[in-house]
Amino acid sequence: GSTIGILGGGQLGRMLSVAASRLGYLTHIYEPGDAPAEQVAHARTKASYEDLGALEAFAKSVDVITYEFENVPATALDLLEALRPIRPGTRALAISQDRLTEKTFLEGLGLTCAPFRDIPDAASLIAAIEDLGTPAILKTRRMGYDGKGQVRVDGPEQIEAAFAEMRGADAILEGFVGFQREISVIAARGLSGEVVCFDPGENVHRDGILRTTTVPATLTGAQRTDAALLAGRILNALDYVGVLGVELFVTPAGLIVNEIAPRVHNSGHWTQAGCAVDQFEQHIRAIAGLPLGDGQRYADVVMENLIGDDMDRLPDLLAAPDTQVHLYGKAEVRPGRKMAHVNRITR
Ligand code: ATP
Ligand code: MG
Ligand code: MG
């Protein structure tokens, strides 16, 4: 069989690896650190993204390369891309690595984002706060996840402290969106350009981390259609191959795009219990050049992340009816660490 290379060995890489195995592919994980995925992958390289020799050997051992981790350095990507196809492409990765280029790209497609300003220095923050008002959210352009690297600014008196929290990193300021709810749409585009969208899920965050995703989301038919159409627009513009996650704010004035993730997405885990073909299989199908599968939702599902001490509830959850448990095989429980998730079928 052919071999799929996966950059990143976290739980997303692990679940991609399982899906690939089920379709008869071998997987090779490239991960510098802890790698829950290594327990299920067929090969593993533990090396940094600066190790060009290791990257080259990895690329030559696989037929196609994908990623579960967005922050792969450009030099590593250039080397890999010269040797094997990377799907989704490096353009999707480059755009979504930086909130400024991401939002500029999305607005260029005619989509609506929260108003934003580039914040290269303290003076620009003062001007941007005057412009956008408060509350506003200051976010690092790069590397943020789970709400890390962002701080809310509730008034001009907080500007100095907020700027200090960026610790010199390039940042953007976003106007605060008074959303009714948060949803995400997980969509896939195949090698021949076909698009399949999963039903949008409704997301609830706590302490900046996704807690639950519920399907169906509370949406009008028009909002559902808008979500699918805007995801399709993004996929086509990027000539994308694979699964993409799009986080959206629902407002009375329409859908606002918060951010995109060029990979399988935590808020798409419900598809494991709600669809014949889940997001992980869909992604593997896409990058392997297989036809996309049936992503119709056939059940109502609540996905809940088990974070840190939530693992104390595991015995109860294992005994609960209509509940699918996914453990990531991480040895150490730490506060804020995603350890597992459960999919509860509610209808
Ligand atoms: P992820 O783990 O999803 O990658 P992240 O660190 O990239 O998260 P964002 O998705 O930008 O962070 O923001 C985290 C959460 O903060 C959002 O899901 C939303 O609840 C809130 N938030 C972010 N930006 C805004 C905004 N402009 N207005 C209102 N709320 C916001
Ligand atoms: Mg993010
Ligand atoms: Mg987010």
CATH for 189? 3.30.470.20
Residue whose CA lies nearest to ligand 1 atom number 4 = 145
Instruction: State the Cα–Cα distance between residues 213 and 274, nearest whole angstrom.
Output: 12
The share of the chain scoring above pLDDT 70, in percent, equals 100
- Residue 27: strand pairing partners: 4
Q: Using an 8 Å Cβ cutoff, are 86 and 28 in contact?
A: no
Average pLDDT, integer, range 102-109:
98
pLDDT tens sequence across 62-105: 999 999 998 999 999 999 999 999 999 999 999 999 999 999 99
Which of 135, 157, 175 is the last residue in one of the domains?
Answer: 175
165 and 220 share a domain?
A: no
Query: What pLDDT is attached to residue 147?
Result: 87
In a domain, 108, yes or no: no
Query: What pLDDT is attached to residue 287?
Result: 98
Average pLDDT, integer, range 52-64:
98
pLDDT tens sequence across 268-306: 999 999 999 999 999 999 999 999 999 999 999 999 999
Query: What pLDDT is attached to residue 86?
Result: 98
pLDDT tens sequence across 223-240: 999 999 999 999 999 999
Annotated binding-site residues for ATP read 99, 139, 144-150, 174-177, 182, 205, 258-259
Cβ atoms within 10 A of the Cβ of 220, count?
9
pLDDT at 178 over 80: yes
Residue whose CA lies nearest to ligand 1 atom number 17 = 208
219 and 341 share a domain?
A: yes
- In CATH, what number is assigned to the domain containing residue 29? 3.40.50.20
| CA 343 distance to own-chain centroid | 18
Which of the residue ranges 119-128, 180-189, 224-233, 310-319 would you say has the lowest mean pLDDT?
A: 119-128
The verdict on the CB of residue 145 being under 6 Å from ligand 1 is yes
In the 3-class helix/strand/coil scheme, how is the chain assigned residue by residue? CCEEEEECCCHHHHHHHHHHHHCCCEEEEECCCCCHHHHCCCEEECCCCCCHHHHHHHHHCCCEEEECCCCCCHHHHHHHHHHCCECCCHHHHHHHCCHHHHHHHHHHCCCCECCEEEECCHHHHHHHHHHHCCCEEEEECCCCCCCCCEEEECCHHHHHHHHHHCCCCCEEEEECCCCCEEEEEEEEECCCCCEEECCCEEEEEECCEEEEEEECCCCCHHHHHHHHHHHHHHHHHCCCCEEEEEEEEEECCEEEEEEEECCCCHHHCCHHHHECCCHHHHHHHHHHCCCCCCCCECCCEEEEEEEHHHHHHHHHHHHCCCEEEEECCCCCCCCCCEEEEEEEECC
35 and 158 share a domain?
A: no
The verdict on the CB of residue 70 being under 6 Å from ligand 1 is no
Q: Is the ipTM of this complex over 0.90?
A: yes
264 and 338 share a domain?
A: yes
Residue whose CA lies nearest to ligand 1 atom number 2 = 146
pLDDT at 243 over 70: yes
Average pLDDT, integer, range 309-330:
97
- In CATH, what number is assigned to the domain containing residue 124? 3.30.1490.20
Query: What pLDDT is attached to residue 1?
Result: 67
Owner of token pair 């350095």: 73
In a domain, 284, yes or no: yes
Which of 49, 65, 86 is the last residue in one of the domains?
Answer: 86
Which of 86, 106, 136 is the last residue in one of the domains?
Answer: 86
Per the structure, the complete domain to which residue 54 belongs is given by 3-86
Query: What pLDDT is attached to residue 2?
Result: 95
61 and 124 share a domain?
A: no
pLDDT tens sequence across 160-172: 898 899 998 999 9
In a domain, 98, yes or no: no
The verdict on the CB of residue 51 being under 6 Å from ligand 1 is no
What is the tally of structural domains in the chain? 3
Query: What pLDDT is attached to residue 146?
Result: 87
261 and 310 share a domain?
A: yes
Q: Chain-wide mean pLDDT for the chain?
A: 96
Instruction: State the Cα–Cα distance between residues 17 and 11, nearest whole angstrom.
Output: 10
pLDDT at 50 over 80: yes
The verdict on the CB of residue 202 being under 6 Å from ligand 1 is no
Q: Using an 8 Å Cβ cutoff, are 150 and 140 in contact?
A: yes
Query: What pLDDT is attached to residue 152?
Result: 94
